[in-house]
Amino acid sequence: MNMSPLSTVVLGAALLSGSFFRAQSPEEPPEQDRRPPEGGWEITEELEDATRAGLAYLARTQDPEGFWRGDVGYKINSSYSPTAENAAHVGVTALATIAFFACGEVPRKGRYGKVVDRAVAWLTRQVEENGYITTNGTRMYSHAFATLCLAEVYGMTTSDEVRSALQRSVDMIIQSQNQEGGWRYKPFAQESDMSITVCQVVALRAAWNSGIHVPKKAIDAAVAYVRRSATPPGVRRIHPRWRFGPGGSSGVFRYQQGREARATFPLTAAGATTLYGAGIYRDPLLKRALSFMERTFDSYNRYWGKRRHYFFYYGNYYAVQAFFIAGGRRWARYFRQVRELLLEMQNPDGSWDCNIGPGPNFGTAVATLILAVPFRYLPIVQR
C-alpha cells in the first residue's frame, strides 16, 4: 500500500510570507484604505462583514491563556484521526493570530490588541529550548506556522524575547533540513514532502524579512526540492488511487519525489507558492501550475467545501496567494468563486466549520485569512 500520511494541521501559510502589513496606521484602518483602486471589486461589504465576524468568533473562542483549541491529529487517506482532542494547538493558534494580522489587527493596540498579545505570549512560551515549537504532539506544520507568526510579530515589535524564540525556531528549521532539501512531519527526518516543505520555506522567508539570519543554501536546497517534485510535462492523469475527489488529472507538483506520488490541486498550489515565495515569478512550471489550478479549482472547492473538509481550506490557502500574485483574469475568476463559497459556508456566529480536520477554529482562521487577502495587509503580492 502506498498510503502517504499528510498532516496534523492543515498546511498553508504560504500566502503569509513576508510582512503582512503596509506602512499605515495599525489602529482602525480607514475603510477607503482597504479598497485599492484597481481591486475595488474584491472587497465587498459582505466580505468585510464576514472577516469581522470571523475575527469576533476567534476572539471569543480564544482560551484565556492565549491559545486556540483544535484536534491535534494526523491524516489517513481523506480522514483525520485526532490524537489529542480539543487541545491547545500551536498551528491553529498561529494561524488564528495571523488571521488577525491579515485583517490589520496588531499586537498591543486596537480592538484585538490583547487577543493578539495573549496569543503571541503563549506561542513564545511553547518554544522549547531546542527551538521546536510544539505542544500536545503538534508537528512541523504547526512549528512552521508558529515561526511565521513570530517572525511577523518580531517585524512589528522587535521584542528581544520574540527574537530569541524566533531565532531558535528558525535554527531548528534550518538544522533539520534533510539531504533532499525538504522537511517532514518531525524534525530531522530523512524524507521530505511538499506540503511541509512549503510551510518551512515560507516561515524562513518571513524570518529573513524580519532580519533573522537564514542561510541562502537552505532556501536553494528547498527550491531545488520543489523543482524536482514537479511531474514531467504531458502527464495527464495520475494513479487513480490518488484521485482525492473530482478531477483526477495530474497536477504539477507531487507530494513526494516518486513516480507514484500524487500531484493534487493543493500540492500544485503549494509548489507554485514556494516558487513565488523564493522570488521566482517566471517559470514554465508556474505557468503549468496555474493552468492546472484554473482548470480544477471549481470542482475541487465544491467537492471538499461541501464536506467542510480541511482539504478545502488547505488547498485554498495556497491557491489564494498563487492566484493573487498571478493576478488578472485568473485571480478574478478564482477569488469571486472562493469568496462566494466562503460567504455561503460561514455560520451565523461568524465561524466556519471544519468537520474533518482540526475543528472550527482552524476553519475560521484559514477562511478569514483567505478572505482578507485583498485587504493587502499581506505584502506577498509582488506582481
Partner 1 sequence: MMLRSQELRSPVFPGSGSGACFPFLVLGLLLPASPSPSQNRALFSVAQDEGRSRRYAEAKRLLDHGKYASAIGLLREVLESSSSAVTRSPDGGYLGLRYLARETLARLPGEAASIYEDLAKGTAKLLLPDALIAPEGGSFQRLRESYPGTRAAETALAAGGLRYLEQGRVVRAWHLFSSLSSLYRSPSGESGRLICRRLLSLPLPSRSLGPDMELPFAGRNRPLRSVLRALSSTSPLPLPASGVLGGGIEGSHPSPAPLEPVTTAWSRKIPTLTFFNWNILPVTDGKRVYLNTGTGIHCLDLLTGRTCWSFQGPLHEEPSSGDFLASISPHQIQVVGFGKGLVVASIQVPKIPDIAKENTEFNGIPVMRRLPVRRLFAFEADSGRLIWSHWDPEKDPPKGFEDAVMDVSGPPLVVGDTVYVPTHKQLGTIAFYVSAFDLESGSLRWKTLICSSQVEVNMFGNAYWEHAASPLACSDGFLFGTTNLGLAFSLSLEDGAIRWLRPYEIIPLPPAQMIPQAREVYWGNNPPIAHGETVVMTPLDSVNALCFDRGTGKILWEMPFLVPDSQLGRSYPMKWMLGIRESRLWFSGDGLASLALEGTRRFQRRARLVSSASRLGIRQIEDRSRMPRGILTSRGALLPTATVGILSLDVEGKIRPGSPSLRNQTGNLCSSRGILVTVQPLSQSHRILVKGLYSFKALIDRARNKVRKHPGSPEFHLELAELIASRPDTSPAIEQQALAGYRKALLLWKRRGTSSTRPNFQRAILGLFRLELRIGRRLQRIDLRAASGHLWEAYEASRKLTPDSSKLEEILDLHELLLRSSLSAERKEEILRSLRDRFPDTIHDFQGFGPIPAGLYAAWLRMKGIPETRSAARGLATLLQEILEKWGGITMRTGKVRDLVLVRLQDLIRKFGPEVYAHIERRARKLLDASKDDPAALRSILRSFPLTKTAKEALLSLASLSARNGDFAAVLDAYGSAAELLSSIPPELKAHLSRAALAAGNRLLALELSGNRDSLPEGRLFSPATLNGIPDRQVFHSARSSSRDFGHAATTLVSPLFVRGFPSRTPPPLLLLRNDRFRLMAFKNIRSSGLPDLRKYDWEIDYDPGVRALPSWVFGEVLVLSDPGRVRGLSLANGKVLWSLDLSEGGGGFEAEEEILLARPLRSGLLLVVTGSPASKETRPTTLLGLEPLTGKLLFRREIPAAAGVGVTDGRLFFLRPRGDRGARTSELHLCDGLDARSLKVLSLDGRRLPRLIPPSPDRIVLASDGVYLLTLLPGGFRKPGLYALDPEGEIRWEIHPPRLGERDGFILVGKQVQLQIGFRSMRTARVLPLDRTTGKASPPVTLGRMAFPAEERSTWGRIPPRPRGFYVWTDSEDAVHLSALGGTEARTSWDTVLPWESSDLRRDLVSEGALFGPTFLLLGKERRLGRRNELDLLVLDMETGSILERMSRSYRAYVNIAPWHGYLVIHSWLDTWILRAANAPGSSLKRKKRR
Q: For residues 261-300, which are near partner 1 according to CB under 8 A?
A: 277-280
What cell numbers appear for 345 in the block?
459556508
- Report helix, strand or coil for 317: helix
- Calpha distance 351→338 (Å, rounded): 16
Q: Is 18 in the site for partner 1 (CB under 8 A)?
A: yes
- Calpha distance 212→53 (Å, rounded): 34
Stretch (H or E) spanning 69 = strand 69-76
From 132, 145, 255, 352, residue interacting with partner 1 (rule: CB under 8 A): 132
Bridge partner residues of 69 (DSSP): 88
- Report helix, strand or coil for 73: strand
Asked whether the beta carbons of 369 and 95 are under 8 A apart, the reply is: yes
Shortest Å distance, C-beta 214 to partner 1: 7
From 41, 46, 65, 81, residue interacting with partner 1 (rule: CB under 8 A): 81
Of 66 and 247, CB closest to partner 1 = 66
Sole window of 40-48, 92-100, 104-112, 312-320 interacting with partner 1 (rule: CB under 8 A):
104-112
**Binding marks (x or -) toward partner 1, 178..217, rule CB under 8 A?**
xx----xxxxxxxx-------------x--xxxxxxxxxx
Shortest Å distance, C-beta 58 to partner 1: 11
**Greatest alpha-carbon span in the chain:** 55
What cell numbers appear for 86 in the block?
480539543
From 171, 283, 298, 353, residue interacting with partner 1 (rule: CB under 8 A): 171
Give the residue among 315, 314, 310 at the shortest CA–CA distance from 354: 310
In the window 27-66, what residues touch partner 1 (CB under 8 A)? 60-61
Shortest Å distance, C-beta 288 to partner 1: 20
Sole window of 15-23, 228-236, 286-294, 365-373 interacting with partner 1 (rule: CB under 8 A):
15-23
Cα-based angle 189, 152, 123 (whole degrees, multiple of 5) = 60
Shortest Å distance, C-beta 298 to partner 1: 31
Of 186 and 287, CB closest to partner 1 = 186
Q: Is 383 in the site for partner 1 (CB under 8 A)?
A: no
Shortest Å distance, C-beta 179 to partner 1: 4
Give the burial class of 79: count Cβ atoms within 10 A of its Cβ; 0-12 exposed, 13-18 middle, 19 or more buried. Answer: exposed
Q: Residues touching partner 1: how many (CB under 8 A)? A: 76
What cell numbers appear for 193 in the block?
514532502
From 134, 195, 250, 364, residue interacting with partner 1 (rule: CB under 8 A): 134
